[in-house]
Chains A and B, each alone.
Chain A
Amino acid sequence: MTTLPTDPAETVAPALTRTVDRPRRSTGKRPLRVTTWYATALFICAVMIVPLLWMITIGLKSRNAVFEVPPRLLPHEFHWQNFLDGPKAIHFPRLLLNSTIITVLSVLGGVMTAMMAGYALARLRFPGRKVWFYLFVGSMLLPGVVGLIPLFQMYKSIGWYDTWLPLIVPAFFGGNPLFIFLARQYFLAIPYSIDEAAKIDGAGHLRIFVSVMLPLTRPAWITMAILAFQASWNDFLNPLVYLYSAGKWPLSVGMAQFVSPFAGQTPNWSYYMATNLLYMLPPLILFFAAQRYFIQGLGSLGSTTQK
């Protein structure tokens, strides 16, 4: 055991980009093993997928059929209309618009400012660059709850309570330290001869950043954009705290409200589940569409500690 290679933490994530090729064991010769594997695999898949199928089933049932005892696993008759009526009843279009505006802006701000900070930290020499790097990385460990009350008060005192600003503006100020970290790691991996060449050609830093670095770091900022999208689209606590008027709610708060114990009457679960599916759809599509970038980007997280 003396010839163990480098610390696994250092090489962890690049491995994600690889397809599975590890502990290889002979499979074909052991039918029992194969059967056990597939039985387990089937079980795992079922646990993950059945709740979602159940959601679709409810979305297709009539309002009253949902409350049948014992419940039917398949709807008696299919109410496709729920997918049109449900969203209307739940003010889905309004909530969707709100969510979209908040998410698009905070993705834009978060990715842009993190990339800028990462560029400075990785490729420019300036006094204090180590200090700022450690401060940003250290702030990743700080639990979000600590800022909750003072920030709430701060926003309230400058008139931002019940507006979208608290959900958007912080993103334009390097909102997520993880992104700064990720950006820096990516920039470190780019050969310095590239910007030297650009400088000889007469490009300034802004020029180098926009025309040379951004195309080279595509996987990094696409990954960040996906993560930022999910964080904003899925966020529940912040909009819940900062938004009072129902007309300004994003989908997360609006959807939760319909099943809240304080909402009054029993929610129309068929409408709700049909709409819930629509709420899930954008992150779902994004996940499947951008899997490649997502995994590449995570890969850079691991190759980090050496530098």
Chain B
Amino acid sequence: MNRDGRSRGGRGGFSRNAGSDVKAAYLFIAPAIIGFTVFVVYPLVRSFYLSLTKYNGLTDPVFVGLGNFRRLFTVDPAFWPSLRATGYLVVLYVPLSLALGLALAMFCNQRFAGVRIVRTLAYLPVVLPAVATITLWKFILNPQVGLANTILDKLHLPTSLWLQSPSMSMPSIVIVMLWGVGGTMIIFLAALQAVPTELYEAARVDGAGPYAVFFRITLPMISPIMLLQVILQTTAALQTFNQPKILTGGGPGFSTNVLMLSIYNNGFSNLGRIPQLGYASAQVWVLFIVIIAVIALTAKFSSLWTYSDNTPD
């Protein structure tokens, strides 16, 4: 390579190197292009085809048209509950995560001794392996010997069955997820630090109160990041798998049997059942379409509530 490079340089400087640039570029980018084709494009196409087939992974897929989708929406007793569980999770988790994340970011954006410690600790759960923290929480939420009920009991507050109660199981999962709110916080914190100080100074000169400052300066200025967060958090929440898989296995009843868990159980579970890969692919596509819809709707309505300095005035 050394000799090669030298001779090329000697031949005519970089202005005449356009051809070798192209060759080099494609050599450098080849792995990524191959990866994109094999691990992104192919699965996308293939998964769409599979969703239209009956396929157990052993014999060849049999084309059934929209049969899987018909079965999902009209026959399967577990599908609507899983859709409802997924929706419930999103509705509960996303607003709380955004509100808590922003509140935490605003708190950590102040000038106090020790603020770095708070920030670091708040971000800590995000770096820890999900399995490690989720199993820890499984024990914390144990109704008899867990920390959660012990503390509630000491404070003379009502205790709960947490994961074992059909009505509390999903809120419990959301609590576990919210422990990782530091991830949301760190992005909001970056957005808050980018808001020009002059704006706050001007507002103070004008005598604006904290609420006016928040709603008329802070919120509009971070609205593009808010938009990004809505999309990221919602798509992530729609694909929640680890928590229900480890904490509840989908129960009690179908209360936490979210779509991802249902897909996994239909497609891969080794519980002696025949894998239904075509059927699971149809579920994947339902989830995929929901995700696309969320992104499209959020982006479409974003102009209503995000601030942009490109607007002509």
Chain A positions within 8 Å of B, measured between CB atoms, are 2, 4-9, 11-16, 18-25, 27, 34, 37-38, 40-41, 44-45, 47-52, 54-55, 58, 66-71, 73, 113-114, 116-117, 119-121, 124-127, 129, 132, 135-136, 139, 141-154, 156, 170, 172-175, 180, 196, 199-207, 209, 230, 233-234, 236-237, 240-241, 244, 251-253, 255-256, 259-261, 269, 272-273, 276, 279-280, 283-284, 286-287, 291, 298, 302
Contact = CB atoms under 8 A, between A and B. Distances in A.
Interface in B265-286: 267-268, 270, 277, 280-281, 284-285
B63 interface: no
B43 A150 contact: yes
Given A44-B118, A286-B127, 17 more contacts: A8-B191, A8-B194, A12-B187, A34-B112, A41-B115, A116-B31, A135-B36, A143-B291, A150-B47, A154-B42, A170-B39, A175-B35, A203-B9, A204-B1, A206-B24, A237-B264, A252-B131
A120 B128 CA distance: 34
A58 B139 contact: yes
Mostly helix, strand, loop or mixed at chain B's interface?
Answer: helix
Contacts of B2: 204, 207
B67 interface: no
A119 B28 contact: yes
B9 A200 contact: yes
Interface stretch (B13-21, B85-93, B165-173): B13-21
A29 to B, nearest CB: 14
Nearest to B192: A22
Given A12-B194, A13-B190, A124-B28, A71 B145 contact: yes
Mostly helix, strand, loop or mixed at chain A's interface?
Answer: helix
A2 B313 contact: yes
Interface of B: 1-2, 4-6, 8-10, 13-14, 17-18, 20-22, 24-26, 28-29, 31-36, 38-40, 42-44, 46-47, 50, 57, 104, 107-112, 114-118, 120-122, 124-125, 127-140, 144-147, 150, 153, 179, 182, 186-187, 189-197, 199-200, 221-222, 224-225, 228, 235, 238-239, 241-242, 245-246, 249, 260, 263-264, 267-268, 270, 277, 280-281, 284-285, 287-288, 291, 295, 308-310, 313
Contacts of B110: 20, 23, 25, 37
Nearest to A258: B135
B29 A120 contact: yes
A50 to B, nearest CB: 7
Given A12-B191, A24-B111, A276 B135 contact: yes
B52 to A, nearest CB: 13
Nearest to B236: A143
A177 B167 CA distance: 39
